[in-house]
A and B are shown apart, each in its own frame.
Chain A
């Protein structure tokens, strides 16, 4: 497996975003060059179709340019902030394009975890511990929703579980995760 360049340092990305907020097109181009391969991979993961992912990527960077000034007041880190914009954009496109991504092809791709490049994102403290306390079913539902962008219905079909169970696993899982993360933070 080929190794790509190491991820760009967060501080540099934050500075580029600030320059974008000051309407510096050169900084925007640099930001695009540094981060578009990461965001494109993330969009492909959710949207599967290259043409749709390309359209989404365009929309995402228009948004980033538009909202660069809002970055400062955001508490997250630069790359995480951009990935969030990409995720919301993909969710929106799925609905508009009425993409049905629960065919057999999608299933095959869901199982493919071979291209992982670890260490790209810093997890909240004790995240692995807290997520590990949830049931396997709950973990699977949360991952299918967050990582693949699947809806409740799609998750129910993909995992052959009743829709009601999927909804309640997700709802309870989110509450447990919040409680665990805040509890751990206090004792840490």
Chain B
């Protein structure tokens, strides 16, 4: 589909890099970036147009910018074990009170083995998905609010190497969500290269397969 129209895709790649591809067209094009051929075209244009890069006098940003970055990425977390344990204790308490036994705080020992970023807009990540401890658990963090009609939910799917998509549950509108994966989900993840997000009725797909529009496809990459 894409390769039969190389010239058009190359033109779009050029205007994407130049910045004149805007709005819906830009977002549509970004979905094609999962294709290695499209990526090569974009990289080539980035190289070509880099000659237009202006030389500017440096401007030092205020300290609050770094503080914001540090806060968003939780970089200071490992240096403040007391706060971390307090947070874990609090989440254990919340989980116990609410009675959601499927949601468990992730033990700190589990490390991320695969990652995916769900991103619709140029440089905005909506959700960061991490698979922990070789697909034993899943951690999803909402980074930006994704627009959603009322009465609808965002559902996350595994696109397995073979067969139908397998649900990973609903995506949180905000905050972080941890999930212990089932044997079925782990089997589907083995060899899977992509995750997808669809819009479903509130509470999730009634059929166990995506029923609404698939709005994102994100590659899984090793952490």
Contacts and interface: CB of A to CB of B under 8 A. Distances in A.
B124 A59 contact: yes
A177 B65 contact: no
B55 A171 contact: no
> Which applies to chain B's interface (DSSP): helix, strand, loop or mixed?
mixed
Interface string B136-147: 000000010000
B116 to A, nearest CB: 11
A65 B61 CA distance: 18
Interface stretch (A11-19, A100-108, A120-128): A120-128
Interface string A144-178: 01110111100000000000000000110011011
Contacts of B54: 45, 116, 147
Given A146-B19, A171-B11, A121 B50 contact: yes
Chain B interface category by residue count: 35 or more
B51 A131 contact: yes
Contacts of A91: 19, 22, 26, 122
A123 B22 contact: no
Interface stretch (B69-77, B157-165, B192-200): B69-77
> Which applies to chain A's interface (DSSP): helix, strand, loop or mixed?
helix
A63 interface: yes
Interface string A3-26: 010000000000000000000010
Most chain A Cβ neighbours within 10 Å, of B49, B66, B125: B49
B206 interface: no
Contacts of B43: 74-76
Interface string B41-68: 0010011111111111111111011101
A54 interface: yes
Interface residues of A, number: 68
A142 B14 CA distance: 11
B65 to A, nearest CB: 5
B59 A88 contact: no
A137 interface: no
Interface string A66-79: 10011000111000
B117 interface: yes
Nearest to A2: B57
B108 interface: no
7 contacts: A36-B65, A69-B223, A84-B46, A95-B22, A142-B49, A149-B19, A151-B22
Interface of A: 1, 4, 25, 28-29, 32, 36-38, 40-42, 44-45, 54, 57-63, 65-66, 69-70, 74-76, 80, 83-85, 87-89, 91-92, 95-96, 115-121, 123-124, 127-128, 131, 142-143, 145-147, 149-152, 170-171, 174-175, 177-178, 181
Interface of B: 11, 14-15, 18-20, 22-23, 26, 43, 46-62, 64-66, 68-69, 72-73, 75, 117, 121-125, 128, 143, 221-223
Name the 8 nearest CB pairs between A and B, nearest first: A127-B51, A37-B58, A89-B123, A92-B122, A115-B57, A123-B51, A41-B56, A146-B52
